[in-house]
Structure 1
Amino acid sequence: MQLIVTLTNQATIIHPLNQQLMLTIQTTGEPDMSDRLALVQDSKNKWQLVEEQLPKKYQKCVLIKAPEYEQKILARCLANEFFEGNHVIPRNLIKDYQSLCQQINQILQAFAIELTAKPKKAPSAKAQHRWQKALAEIPFYVDDFGAKATIYWQKRNELRIEKGARLLPDAPLNKDGSLGFGARFALTLREEQKEKIKDNQTIEDIVLKSVNEVGHLLYFAGTNSWLVLKDENGKTLDEYSRVE
């Protein structure tokens, strides 16, 4: 990997050749965080991920600017890879974002900055979930991946998406430009419910059979929807219903 390195009085600025990625390493100052993420080293040499405002005191910080990538998803991926994150990332994006995170880590290692990757967990059996009557009274929300909705798990095999839900307009494509199986399934669901959808917004309540169908209809799935649906306090549907 070829790097372009610029040294100033306050910072070291690093550009990988032929990429828009920019890393800025500095030990002082309060930079603009509007389009950047930051990795910050505290007085105990511990690194943390910062998305908004830097702490007033820090030993060192690394500003990350990657305009070709969605900042929110990159933050989640960095948290998953190097911190205590357990965030949901769309399946069709995981590979590209993980690759960027590893590239950032590789560059930082060349400048004596070590981010320790979390140990990978052994794959577990598919989680089982159980409906309970009390769940029917709890509204669960989606506000992610370009979709927004309120959902009630009203019966064991019935999930109701309330009128007014906003759907992700366009299906993600494979690298060859084709539609994947999940996208085709989602479009089939939308076709079946087309009388209740106008301009990518539901105009009537829609009842589906599973959490999987809800994820496909709203945002073409590509992730674990049990972790996406959350109550008003951020508790996931998975936490409410998982059978240990």
Structure 2
Amino acid sequence: MKNLTFTVTLSDFGLEIHLPSEARLLLLEQNNARFDLNNDELFFLLKKGQIKMIANDLELIPKLEFDKVVILNVKAYELDANYLTQYLVNLAEEAGINLRDKAEPLKIPNNIEKACATYADEFLSALGAFGIKLEKKKAFSPKAQHRWKKGLSEIEFFVKRPDSQATIIWRKSNELVIKAGAKIAESGGMKSDGTPGLAYRFTQTLREEQKENWDPKTFITTADIVLKSVNEVGHFLYFAGTNSWLQLVDKEGRSIHELSVVQ
């Protein structure tokens, strides 16, 4: 994947990502197939961050549980959406992803496959910034046990998300320090119907307790903040919504889960 500069707009429909090529991505937080699709668009269906389906025909959607829709408009690529869809299906299957209800396989000419690879590098890089990747999620047991040890207090862990960036020190078994200058997410934790969920309410409670230590205008922390658990850190920074044991990583890319899980 390459370094990429793109713009993100929050609209009534969802997050719109505008790429340098003028191609567009639309990220929708929804669990139904009530969305429109043009001839030059394809879509991904995801469940808990894992891609479940890639297609460019709404009629192919089966009875399938999903919680996110990504729509890619490929008009700027001047490429047949059928070929790009097949290219992405091939990539997903090579990565070990078991996709649902695919269209009939399509042979991609060599010259078009090269074009698909170039364009895919652009929009997959953008999606990667939102945690959406063409790779199989590693199994992670919610019952995993983690143990603090003194050596962990000497490691800086980082959160690097589009909506939140922070440096964290696991100082003691029940003390995690978010260093001053962290960027906290401005929104999140809402249910699919737009009402506040448990994550939103818990996050607001934590932020209210720390209201003297962050600026509500810039959403930047102004002092070190001490919380009791990785779960609290994830809520405070970005309304949780994902496994924070995998979100906090050191400079070598090792997660806090990897370094503290009890084997």
Category of TM-score, reference length = shorter chain: 0.5 to 0.7
* 1:140 alignment counterpart: 157
* 1:223 alignment counterpart: 242
- Whether the aligned pair in 1 keeps the contact of 2:168 and 2:177 (CA below 8 Å) is yes
Give 1:177 deviation, angstroms.
1.3
Distance 1:75 1:222, change over 3 A: closer
* 1:165 alignment counterpart: 182
Where does structure 2 lack aligned partners over 5 or more consecutive residues? 1-32, 41-54, 60-70, 75-80, 97-109
1:39 lines up with 2:88 in the alignment? yes
1:182 lines up with 2:199 in the alignment? yes
Give 1:21 deviation, angstroms.
5.0
The amino acid across from 1:233 in the alignment is: E
1:196 lines up with 2:252 in the alignment? no
- Whether the aligned pair in 2 keeps the contact of 1:139 and 1:231 (CA below 8 Å) is yes
* 1:238 alignment counterpart: 257
CA-to-aligned-CA distance 1:45-95 (integer Å, 9 cap, x gap): x8469xxxxxxx789465669x9xx72268734322xxxx54xxxxxxxxx
The amino acid across from 1:190 in the alignment is: R
Greater Rg over alpha carbons, structure = 1
Distance 1:214 1:233, change over 3 A: same
Query: Using the alignment, how far apart are the partners of 1:181 and 1:218 within structure 2?
Result: 15
Distance 1:163 1:128, change over 3 A: same
Where does structure 1 lack aligned partners over 5 or more consecutive residues? 7-13, 27-35, 50-56, 87-120
After TM superposition, list the pairs within 5 Å mapping 1:61-76 onto structure 2.
Answer: 62=116, 71-72=127-128, 76=132
Query: How big is the alpha-carbon RMSD for the aligned residues of Structure 1 and Structure 2?
Result: 3.9
CA-to-aligned-CA distance 1:188-240 (integer Å, 9 cap, x gap): 10011010000211000000000000000000001110100000010000010
CA-to-aligned-CA distance 1:154-173 (integer Å, 9 cap, x gap): 00100000000000111242
SS at match of 2:191: coil
- Whether the aligned pair in 1 keeps the contact of 2:129 and 2:162 (CA below 8 Å) is no
- Whether the aligned pair in 2 keeps the contact of 1:149 and 1:165 (CA below 8 Å) is yes
CA-to-aligned-CA distance 1:117-154 (integer Å, 9 cap, x gap): xxxx6x84611000000100100000015100000000
The amino acid across from 2:250 in the alignment is: D
* 2:135 alignment counterpart: 79
* 1:205 alignment counterpart: 224
The amino acid across from 2:187 in the alignment is: D
Q: TM-score, normalised by structure 1?
A: 0.60
Q: TM-score, normalised by structure 2?
A: 0.56
* 1:52 alignment counterpart: none
SS at match of 2:88: strand
- Whether the aligned pair in 2 keeps the contact of 1:140 and 1:229 (CA below 8 Å) is yes
Distance 1:47 1:127, change over 3 A: closer
Query: Using the alignment, how far apart are the partners of 1:75 and 1:211 within structure 2?
Result: 19
Query: Using the alignment, how far apart are the partners of 2:131 and 2:194 within structure 1?
Result: 27
Moved over 4 A (4+): 1-6, 17-22, 46-49, 61-65
The amino acid across from 2:253 in the alignment is: G
Give 1:187 deviation, angstroms.
0.8
1:25 lines up with 2:83 in the alignment? yes
